[in-house]
Amino acid sequence: MKNLVYTTTALCFLAAGTATANEFESELKTLAAGKIAEIATSSEVIDAVRAQNGETGAFNQAKIDELDKTWRAEAEAVDQPMIDTVLERPLSTFLADVQESSDGLFTEIFVMDGKGLNVGQSDVTSDYWQGDEAKWQDTYSNGKGAVHISELEEDDSTQTLQSQVSVTVVDPDSGEAIGAVTFGVNVENL
């Protein structure tokens, strides 16, 4: 029953077509400053991002596109070597643990590097590169303290009414943005 109400509400918002601000914006902002910031500043995240930046800093767009294509193909396939590599990383395990212990609050967590490529993630995503999306652009480019809150939507892969909250990952030594992290938040569990 609850599901139905929320779905209807969400659909109403979507149908309206306007970028109506997320109803839960204030709560999500609080979350972003709280739990989410905690994880974004954890050493597991920062170290992993730094390490990957060392590798992918040199990638050009062509390379990025190639990787993304491979990922998307693999996502539909039975053999998923690239996906498996990323998801078996320690950071991914860490993020999966965080998601599991969040009691259903987080539906997905993924960390992006300086190019917008996935560093680690709690579950498989449909694509590898977020660089062309607002969630990375609005955070990474805006540096420290930036928060991006997406619109509410009924997510296909997680089947919940959720909003994506993204924050910048900042290198504590230099104070500069080195990446971003996105949390899928199940607003029903807020």
Partner 1 sequence: MPSRAILENSVKVAAKLPALVLGIALLCSAGVGIASYISSANTVKGQAEQRLMALAESSRDSLLELYHGKQRTIEGHVQGKTLRAAYSAFDAAWAKYKDKASATLTKIYVTDNPHPIEERDQLVKAGRKPYDKAHAKHHTPLRDFADANNFPDLLLVNMNGDVIYSARKLADFGVNVQAEAWQNTALADAYKTIVADGNGAVVAYDPEHYPGRDNEATGFLAAPITVGSKTIGMVVYEAPTSEVTTLLGKFAGLGETGETLLLNADGLAMNDSLRTADVSELLSDQFNAPEISASMSGGNTFTRLPDFNGQDVFAAIVPVTAFGQKYAVVVVQAASEVLAPLTTLQIWIFASAIVCALIAGVFGLVTARGLSARISGLGDVMNKLAGGDTKVDVPAQATRDEIAEMAASVRVFRENALERERLEQEQKETSFETARQADAVASLISDFRSEVTEMLDAVYSNSEQMRTAAEELNGVADETAGEASNASSASEAASTNVQTVASASEELSASIQEIRRQVQSTTDIVQSATQAAMQTNTKIEGLAESAQRIGDVVNLISAIAEQTNLLALNATIEAARAGEAGRGFAVVASEVKELATQTAKATEEIEGQITEVQAATKEAVSAIAGITETMSQVDEYTGTIAAAVEQQGAATNEISGNVQDAARGTQDVAQTIITISEKAQVTSSSAGQVLNASTDVNARTTDLRETVDRFLKAVAAA
Of 83 and 98, nearer to partner 1 (C-beta) is 83
Does 91 bind partner 1 (CB under 8 A)? Our answer is no
Burial code (b: 16+ CB inside 10 Å, e: under 16) for 68-82 equals beebeebeeeeebee
Q: Which is nearer to partner 1, 61 or 157 (CB)?
A: 157
Q: Which stretch binds partner 1 (CB under 8 A): 9-17, 55-63, 72-80, 182-190?
A: 72-80
Pick from 80, 93, 137, 142 the residue near partner 1 by CB under 8 A. 80
Residue 78 in contact with partner 1, rule: CB under 8 A: yes
Q: Which is nearer to partner 1, 37 or 75 (CB)?
A: 75
Which position among 46, 98, 112, 124 is part of the footprint of partner 1 (CB under 8 A)? Answer: 124
Q: Per rule CB under 8 A, is residue 127 in the interface with partner 1?
A: no
In the list 44, 123, 138, 171, the residue contacting partner 1 (rule: CB under 8 A) is: 123
